[in-house]
Amino acid sequence: MEQNITDQELQKKAETLLKKMTLDQKIGQMTQTERMSITPAEVKEFHIGSVLSGGGSCPGENRPKDWVDMNDAYWAASMEADENHLAIPLIYGVDAIHGHNNVIGATIFPHNIGLGAANDPELLERIAKVTAREILATGVEWTFAPTLAVARNNQWGRTYESYSEDPEIVQSYAGRFVKGLQGDMGVDSVVGCVKHWVGDGGTTYGIDQGDTRGNDEELSRIHIAPYYPALAEGVLTVMASFNSWNGDKCHGHRYLLTDVLKNELEFEGFIISDWDGIDYLSESYYEAVGWSTNAGIDMFMVSDKWREFIAHLKSHVQNGTVPIERIDDAVRRILYVKLKYGLFEKPRPADRYWSNHDSFGSKEHREVARESVRKSLVLLKNENDILPLKKNARILVAGKNADDCGHQCGGFTVAWQGVSDSKTIGREFIESGVSFDYGSANAAVQKGTIEGGTSIWEGIKAVAPNAVLNLDGSVADSDEHDVGIVVVGETPYAEGLGDIRAGDNTIVEMGSMIKGLMKVLAPYGHSLILNELHPEDLRAIKNITDKGIPVVVVLVSGRTLIIEKELEASSAFVAAWLPGSEGQGVSDVLFGDSDFQGKLSFTWQKKVGENFLRGDEHYEPLFPYGYGLSYNKQV
Ligand code: BGC
């Protein structure tokens, strides 16, 4: 931040700059596009305000240096002043939502659902700080995080991006996370973005981008509440949500964007639209552009048709359908954010202190992630105190998620939909020509590399020398194995592709109220029953228990699932959520070096079709909100 400068002075500076800008320059500032669809020369020619990387979109070999070089070129182009172009630094945005997850070798933290179980706001601030440093190591300035969704139905494919089904923990995290990212706007800060405004977690049936229904009191108490501490902490940007509120799309919702967020809540930063999020307002793109601008969107995330967007917005101003005052308000806000963050004073990305810094993916950073894993695990069952396990026990480790760093990281890791990264499956199955059966769900996850992490198996092996790995558990033998650990659960997914949809696909359109404009996506599955999504898991468990060997089940998943059969077959059951790159955090707790501390921040449902939530009058779940066992009951 510019030292000792008041907000008023910053606003004045923004005003002075605004006065020098042409309409083309203003509209350019309001435009953000994807790196694949724009060159540095075009950034200058069209005065583009921001470029982003969509999920999994990465330059070169996807190393920090590739990122620094890329943003350096965009930034330099934006700063080349001449008679047609003013030097206004470009801001580069990414989805660093559980660490700087697009980049190879980054420290990957548990997804938010696990952090919710940790219920530790201080930890959240440290996670945000580490994430900010890793973002800065790649020369980037802005992350679309934290997600403040309060997910009310586990069928939603983005449930794991939510800290809790209840606003309490989300609220206690929001300000701390923003503080960790933005800090004092000094050299180790990045710009934060709370999302998705608003009601993203409340859609009917948990349909991604669907319709959230209710009254204003509910909207405020459940979905707006987490935004207060983030705004109080000075979060600089807010992303509009794909969902509708009582049938009206948030991207065109003047009341929610302007009257509530900007006027009532006095938000001074800028609102960015979600990925092509305005497209669903109308079949006419021209109309959608005018509608969303007038509703209050300030910067537009346009994946590739940015030329069209710019032309339409310009016509609207010329035709008088978007007042110039609205354009000025948007640009003033964008300039204010850039000034507040001190972007004008920063050297080019290649010359910044943290760029290419060797703390990226360092042991110190990974320690914070490992601590987060330890704190996020929830113990649901521990018959006869089978846990903690003895380090010298003869353990058979099984389950498709036992040795797969990609699966334990989940979606939004290296690729948008996440990756499979199993060395074991490579060795035992692929090379022998036998393909591993992942069950019916999401068979399409691509191969990828999570570098620098430890799988859950590797974490176990590091402390238990007599542990052996056999993914389907078929070698189980009671003379050779004292106990089994079976790591089961979901394979990676992101957004709507992670939805569980019971009915046919038409429900998507009805729920979304988008006049048939939304692409119908294939869901992850049709029910939340683990044994229907992934029957191979129970098979692996049974292969071991059938031999009279007790089994500890570790569930890797982005949400609570119906686990009746697996729970019954197990002696102990641990919910590990999507723990990220540091699998050793799991073994730290399984072997008793740390105790379990995690408590459910989501209600665990007993049966399909039930959706009990904390605070319900009639509340009969399998495990209630706040449930979690520990070794030392005093903890
Ligand atoms: C998601 C956002 C994300 C954006 C940019 C969208 O599909 O809804 O959460 O920030 O893509 O990658």
Query: 3-state DSSP call for residue 394?
Result: coil
Question: Of 212, 183, 182, 177, which is closest to residue 197 (Cα–Cα)?
Answer: 212
pLDDT tens digits, one per residue of 395-437: 999 999 999 999 999 999 998 889 888 766 543 443 334 344 4
pLDDT of residue 425: 56
pLDDT classification of 632: cutoffs 50, 70, 90: confident
| Joined tokens for residue 361 | 């993916």
Question: Of 301, 281, 217, 256, which is closest to residue 49 (Cα–Cα)?
Answer: 301
In terms of C-beta density within 10 A (0-12 exposed, 13-18 middle, 19 or more buried), how is residue 564 classed?
A: middle
pLDDT of residue 444: 45
pLDDT of residue 441: 44
Average pLDDT over residues 68-76: 98
Question: Of 291, 182, 197, which is closest to residue 238 (Cα–Cα)?
Answer: 197
The fold of 381-590 is Rossmann fold (3.40.50)
pLDDT tens digits, one per residue of 252-270: 999 999 999 999 999 999 9
In terms of C-beta density within 10 A (0-12 exposed, 13-18 middle, 19 or more buried), how is residue 515 classed?
A: exposed
DSSP string computed for 87-153 = ----EEEE--SSSSTTSTT---PPPHHHHHHH--HHHHHHHHHHHHHHHHHTT--EE---B--B---
| Spacing, Cα 612 to ligand 1 middle (Å) | 29
> Residue 238's beta-bridge partner residues?
194, 271
Task: Enumerate residues 6+ apart whose C-beta is below 8 A from 294.
Answer: 254, 322, 326
pLDDT classification of 204: cutoffs 50, 70, 90: very high
Do 7-351 and 381-590 agree at the fold level?
A: no
| Joined tokens for residue 10 | 């910053």
Which atom of ligand 1 is the closest one to the Cα of 55? 12
Pairing of strands 91-94, 211-212: unpaired
pLDDT of residue 519: 52
pLDDT tens digits, one per residue of 99-108: 999 999 999 9
| Spacing, Cα 94 to ligand 1 middle (Å) | 9
Position 445 pLDDT exceeds 70: no
Single out the catalytic residue among 69, 200, 208, 274. Answer: 274
pLDDT of residue 171: 98
Which atom of ligand 1 is the closest one to the Cα of 416? 12
Alpha carbons within 13 A on the beta-carbon side of 428: 15
In terms of C-beta density within 10 A (0-12 exposed, 13-18 middle, 19 or more buried), how is residue 565 classed?
A: middle
pLDDT of residue 421: 85
Q: Is 495 noted as a catalytic residue in this protein?
A: yes
| Spacing, Cα 444 to ligand 1 middle (Å) | 20
- Distance of alpha carbon 510 from alpha carbon 522, whole angstroms: 16
Single out the catalytic residue among 95, 490, 495, 588. Answer: 495
Residue of 32, 200, 251, 274 to test ligand 1 pocket, by largest number of atoms within 8 Å of CB = 274
pLDDT classification of 442: cutoffs 50, 70, 90: very low
Q: What is the DSSP-derived secondary structure letter of residue 257? A: I
User: What type of residue sits at position 457?
Assistant: W
Which atom of ligand 1 is the closest one to the Cα of 53? 12
| Spacing, Cα 485 to ligand 1 middle (Å) | 36
Alpha carbons within 13 A on the beta-carbon side of 271: 32
Cβ of 54 closer than 6 Å to ligand 1, yes or no, is: yes
pLDDT of residue 82: 97
Instruction: Name the pTM for this structure.
Output: 0.95
Position 384 pLDDT exceeds 70: yes
Cβ of 95 closer than 6 Å to ligand 1, yes or no, is: yes
Q: Is 617 noted as a catalytic residue in this protein?
A: no
- Distance of alpha carbon 187 from alpha carbon 135, whole angstroms: 12
Cβ of 34 closer than 6 Å to ligand 1, yes or no, is: no
Position 438 pLDDT exceeds 50: no
- Distance of alpha carbon 126 from alpha carbon 135, whole angstroms: 14
Q: What is the DSSP-derived secondary structure letter of residue 518? A: S
The answer, yes or no, to whether the previous bond of 534 is cis (omega within 30 of 0) is no
pLDDT of residue 154: 96
pLDDT tens digits, one per residue of 504-516: 544 444 333 334 4
pLDDT of residue 501: 85
Superfamily of domain 7-351: Glycoside hydrolase, family 3, N-terminal domain (3.20.20.300)
| Spacing, Cα 631 to ligand 1 middle (Å) | 40
| Joined tokens for residue 78 | 């934006």
pLDDT classification of 502: cutoffs 50, 70, 90: confident
Cβ of 141 closer than 6 Å to ligand 1, yes or no, is: no
| Spacing, Cα 276 to ligand 1 middle (Å) | 9
- For the chain, domain boundaries: 7-351, 381-590
| Joined tokens for residue 484 | 């089994």
Cβ of 208 closer than 6 Å to ligand 1, yes or no, is: no
Sign of the CA dihedral running 172, 174, 177, 183 = negative
From atom 12 of ligand 1, which residue's Cα is the shortest distance away? 54
pLDDT tens digits, one per residue of 223-260: 999 999 999 999 999 999 999 999 999 999 999 999 99
